[in-house]
Structure 1
Amino acid sequence: MGQVARQKFVVRLLNDHKVTTQNQLLQLLQENGFEVTQSTVSRDIKALNIVKVSDEAGGTYYTQMAFDQQKKMRRLCEGIRDNVSKIQKIQFMNVIRTPLNSNYANALTALLDDLNLPEVSGTIAGNDTIVIISKNDKDAEVIYQLFFKNMDNDLK
């Protein structure tokens, strides 16, 4: 099979499995009939803009980061750092506070919605409050960490 088919399959593998190492990805490809080497896997990772991200347990795994997604995520992180004053995780939801009458809650929620993060089931924006609803506590923790890690202060 060719490079295009292999790279499409790599993306599918990353969506279907929590791949933690290049060696694991290599093994999955070989098990599915792709004759590849470690250097081929490494080149595919670079070409497909695949990055390692942290999970809720502190482990890491590979995921594809779209180039537009990187820009959107950078804008969201800057907005969080500059405008979020408080975040509180309550079971499967996150409640985020921004300055009163600033319209930042709506702007940050629009950026968050635009990312289509799998951990976000829905959002609600008010005057100075964002409510992010997740499917479960683990997904809510991922979102909490995204916001909390990008805040300059120690407010919770």
Structure 2
Amino acid sequence: MGNKAERHRAIQEIVRREEIGTQKELVERLRQLGFEVTQATVSRDIAELGLARIALGKGRHRYVLPAADLPENAYEELKRQFGLFVRDVDRGGNLLVVKTAEGHASGIAYLLDRLRRDEIVGTLAGDDTILVVARTEEAAQALEDEFAGLLVEGRALRRALSGS
């Protein structure tokens, strides 16, 4: 059933309404709707639609649409994610390297990008590392200071959640 445009519309609707955390779940859901798809096709669709996979905590993730399905206050969500999953921040010149728990870098980079801050040129995320490119060394220093504050808050949050 359906062509690529119909499949993309279906994916957007599924992601908007449901908590889909893996490509396998999305493949299964599309098949329920009558689309004959493979994981490889869904992987390409995810990239073409610009979907991001963000961490929900406790090992759960969710695909979200670009600039959509973010909490009302993206900065508050960034603070929460940063606090729970960022392990270290380092700076060299106008570049920042943010180390995260495994599997959480892309979700945090996505939130940084959605903030559309002028001092951030862009981000690049791997599995557990984010490269943040700042416009200037001064901007990078200010971001490093801000991130360090979030890291301190995050450590307190992690201690509170773990009960220690």
Say whether 1:109 aligns with 2:109. Answer: yes
Structure 1: tracts of 5 or more residues without a match = 1-67
Question: Which residue is 1:75 aligned to?
Answer: 77
Greater shift, 144-153 or 108-117, is seen at 144-153
CA contact (8 A) 2:88 2:99 kept: yes
Residue 135 of structure 1, CA deviation = 1.5
Residue 69 of structure 1, CA deviation = 9.4
Structure 2: tracts of 5 or more residues without a match = 1-69, 157-164
CA contact (8 A) 2:113 2:123 kept: yes
Can you list the C-alpha shifts for 1:54-85, whole angstroms capped at 9, x where unaligned?
xxxxxxxxxxxxxx997111110111111100
Question: Which residue is 2:92 aligned to?
Answer: 90
Can you list the C-alpha shifts for 1:78-127, whole angstroms capped at 9, x where unaligned?
11111100100111010000112x2x100000000000011101110001
Hey, what's the Cα distance between the residues in 1 that align with 2:124 and 2:138?
20
Question: Which residue is 2:133 aligned to?
Answer: 133
Question: Which residue is 2:118 aligned to?
Answer: 118
Aligned CA RMSD, in angstroms, stands at: 2.1
Hey, what's the Cα distance between the residues in 2 that align with 1:80 and 1:144?
13
Residue 146 of structure 1, CA deviation = 2.0
Query: What code does the residue aligned with 1:116 have?
Result: R
Query: What code does the residue aligned with 1:89 have?
Result: R
Identity of aligned residues (%): 22
CA contact (8 A) 1:77 1:147 kept: no
Tell me the matched-pair count.
85
